[in-house]
A = this chain, B = another copy of it.
């Protein structure tokens, strides 16, 4: 224990169990060692450690790092947290000089440093997982530029779209997510070390050198803020939750499009499950779980925000709980993203089920009237009435249109109501015309390759 002197009684067993954080923060082991190695250098440069002391500490820390790397490090029951465990082990390895490591440092600035280092180490993994999923979406899109599928709004058939366009519509949200992760970096890569418990270090350590050595962009400008700030935690959790939302919207559509009723897609057996009771079932469990995980990711964000609300002092113990949220969110993302990527890669597409009925081309009909000079609002009404008439008479929109040709003039239903031509008309930037989709693919492809914040 790092703080025995003042106390006349040791901690109650249950209280210990509530208080300990090792079961969670052991994941910061390597970062904790790395932070300590840099701190040794800083203390030596500040004249607090002799070269010899520094060397001994470095030897001990190097061995500890190796023990962690090889899974040989043995935790003790009395290790309260990862910092305590490392310091305890260091004492075993190098003796009394270990007691000099904590000079001018508090667990408050230490844990904030470790945690930021952990996130700096981990974010690239999340970014890569995002990129991998984006790459699959891109590849599937490239296969289906000219595949026509029904587009929906309000889950009602709306207008024909290119299947490539649909795949790409799930590419862009992830692109924004990656951009957000990059924008987080200037707020994440701020070094707290050297802030002490709250008031700053009383020894002349060079915090700018420390920052450089540990890969931070800057040293924090205010020691109170440095130990209290968990903005980087909740901002990351927000991005994670939003990734969850994006995946849930994709998942919802996969669930829909693999129903018997839609039938656009079919899951590979390797990414579907069956029923313990109903022999015919093939269920999209992975995508349902994706939806569920989106709720969980959002709950993690919510919990961390509530945790921070109205905290009274620079460092309150409430902050110890922050890591659980980040670890859970990260594990969830790194579990979900590769599964979805793999499942989409093997998704079978059934273009023959993607029927476009002529009603989906009603807007094209109205647009055609517009081209003949009729105000759109009037054209919309005319076509709406035609739709109603067709539905009432049980005839197709094509037939109904033909009946109107006399009065409406030179309209060729077979041209206007052709799905491929409908697609081709939407060739503005961002539109679903094959030509526009190809341009979009090109942009997406170049962004996917070029943009990587940590390379």
Contacts and interface: CB of A to CB of B under 8 A. Distances in A.
Contact of A309 (B83, B221, B306): B306
Interface string A290-330: 01111110111111111111111111111111001000000
Given A200-B431, A310-B251, A222 B172 contact: yes
A299 B288 contact: no
**This chain: how many copies in the complex?**
4
B289 A321 contact: yes
A346 B100 CA distance: 36
A292 B321 contact: yes
Nearest to A388: B6
B380 A279 contact: yes
B388 A286 contact: no
A270 B310 contact: no
A74 interface: no
A15 to B, nearest CB: 5
Interface centre among A313, A336, A422 (most CB of B within 10 A): A313
A397 B280 CA distance: 10
Given A8-B388, A155-B256, A274-B7, A370 B48 contact: yes
Main secondary structure of the interface of A (DSSP, over half): helix
A336 to B, nearest CB: 7
Interface stretch (A116-124, A407-415, A432-440): A432-440
A258 B157 CA distance: 11
A413 to B, nearest CB: 14
A279 B426 contact: no
Given A388-B5, A425-B202, A296 B321 contact: yes
A18 to B, nearest CB: 5
